[in-house]
Every structure is written in C-alpha cells, then in structure tokens.
C-alpha cells in the first residue's frame, strides 16, 4: 500500500519530465533541420508552406516545454501546500492560454498543409465565401486534422480557474468569519 501511494506521487512528475525531454529532443532536431532549410530557401509556394510548418513546429514544441514546466511547478506547489492558491490560479490561466495557443498553431499548420483544398478561385460572392469557408473549416480543422482538443482543454482549464478562484474566495471568507 505504501509503495503504491509513493508511486502515485512520483509518476505524474516523472511523466512530465519525460514529455519535456521528448519535446526538447524534437525541438533540437527541428532546429537542426531548420537552419539548412533557411540557407537553401527559395521563394515559392511549397517552400513558404514548409517555412510556416517549421515555424509552427518550433513554436509548438516551445509551448509544450512551457506547459510541462508550468505543470511541474503546479504539482510541486500542490504537494507542498496541499491546495491551490492564487499563484496556482495564475499558472492555471497560463496553461489554459498555452492550450488555446497550441490549438491556433495547429490550425495554422493544418491550413498551410491543405491550402490547395481551399479553392481560392471560387470565393466570388458572399454565399460562396460562407459555403466554402464553412466547408474548409469543417473539413480541414474538424475532420482531417482536428485541433478542437486543445481548445476544449483550454476552456476546461479556464472553468477550473474560475471555480478555484471562487472556492478560494469562499475559503478566505470562512476563515475571516471564524
């Protein structure tokens, strides 16, 4: 029983450290391929899309590193105090914004990879723009390369942030009343 409890306390932080290591490794490899790409960069549609993909991948892995670091600091803070406080709420909000940012970065990459399916020549009037815009968003961002999970996690973390903030306010009121 004691062995199981100690592994439960150690496992989330070890998992986050391993995610940070993998993300740092991916960032290293992407930088290694990015610099030769810049030296051989020629102007054109395919190379521009590849440049966008490189930049988005570098930014995404940097945000992954940030989120892992913030989660580790949040876990350590929770282990020392035993509950969330105002600084934990700030970290939770930063993680939520990072998740929204990852969703936006993933959407940019999905659109850049599938730009040929947008059919720019058919965007002639308002009805065509609305129809093709809805079709493009649903086909690319929801079915082909879904990015909605990042947005859902971000919204969930904002809800947790608000709930925890209200719980802390009630707790401080109760402590001041007693």
Give 26-72 pLDDT, tens digit per residue. Answer: 999 998 988 888 887 777 666 777 888 889 999 999 999 999 999 99
Is residue 7's pLDDT more than 60? no
Count up the domains in the chain and report the number.
Answer: 1
pTM of the predicted model, to two decimals? 0.76
Q: Quick one: three-class SS letters along the chain?
A: CHHHHHHHHHHHHHHHHHHHHHHHHHHHHHHHHHHHHHHCCCCCHHHHHHHHHHHHHHHHHHHHHHHHHHHHHHHHHHHHHCCCCHHHHHHHHHHHHHHHHHHHHHHHHHHHHCHHHHCHHHCCCHHHHHHHHHHHHHHHHHHHCCCHHHHHHHHHHHHHHHHHHHHHHHHHHHHHHC
Give 68-108 pLDDT, tens digit per residue. Answer: 999 999 888 888 888 788 888 899 999 999 999 998 998 88
């Amino acid at each position: 029983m004691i062995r199981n409890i100690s592994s439960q306390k150690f496992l989330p932080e070890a998992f986050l450290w391993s995610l940070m290591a993998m993300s740092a490794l991916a960032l290293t490899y992407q930088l290694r391929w990015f610099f030769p790409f810049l030296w051989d960069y020629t102007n054109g549609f395919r190379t521009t899309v590849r440049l966008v993909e490189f930049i988005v991948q570098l930014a995404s892995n940097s945000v992954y590193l940030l989120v892992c670091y913030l989660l580790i600091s949040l876990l350590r803070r929770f282990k020392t105090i035993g509950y969330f406080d105002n600084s934990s709420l700030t970290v939770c909000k930063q993680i939520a914004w990072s998740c929204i940012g990852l969703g936006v970065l993933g959407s940019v990459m999905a659109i850049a990879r599938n730009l040929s399916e947008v059919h720019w020549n058919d965007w002639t009037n308002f009805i065509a723009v609305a129809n093709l815009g809805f079709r493009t968003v649903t086909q690319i961002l929801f079915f082909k390369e879904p990015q909605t999970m990042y947005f859902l996690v971000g919204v969930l973390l904002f809800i947790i942030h608000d709930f925890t903030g209200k719980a802390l306010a009630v707790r401080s009121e109760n402590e001041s009343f007693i």
